[in-house]
Amino acid sequence: MAASRYRRFLRLCEEWPAENSKQQRDLGLVLRQRVAQAFREGENTPISDPEACDQMYESLVRIHTNFYKNKYPRLKDTTFTGVTVNDCRSILATDILKQMEDMKKGTWKRLREKFSAKKPEEDSK
């Protein structure tokens, strides 16, 4: 039975889209890592709680298939602020978040990082 659960999780990992704009923060990547960690021995991995495993799989399938988005359709594709889905995706992209972090830094710190031979991580140690 563990073999079929393992194959179902693998199939879900293959179907889950990769979000290239969210480096290190992609749900598909985290899912793949967790499946690899949970099923270290592949199909031969013993499962201590099969009910919890099945429940986790069903929950992930509902997220992947947009079950609740389809069950409860929205009247508009914007939020109360008027921001669209595409705007949210572009704002949450890794490149934009890095730019925002750079904007938060003070002028002195930016100049010091720019002209310093050390990396900023080494400087704080």
The count of residues in the chain is 125
Q: What is the pLDDT of residues 55-78, one digit of tens each?
A: 999 999 999 999 998 999 888 777
Cβ-proximal residues to 78 (8 Å cutoff; 6+ apart), any chain:
84
What interhelical angle do 27-38 and 2-15 show, nearest 10? 160
Helices 2-15 and 50-64 cross at an angle (nearest 10°) of 20
Residue in 36, 19, 37 with CA at minimum distance from that of residue 28? 19
User: pTM for the whole thing?
Assistant: 0.61
Tell me the per-residue pLDDT of 16-56, one tens digit each, with 9 for 90 and over. Answer: 887 776 667 778 888 988 998 888 888 888 888 889 999 99
| Single-letter code of the amino acid located at 40 | R
Residue owning tokens 């010091």: 112
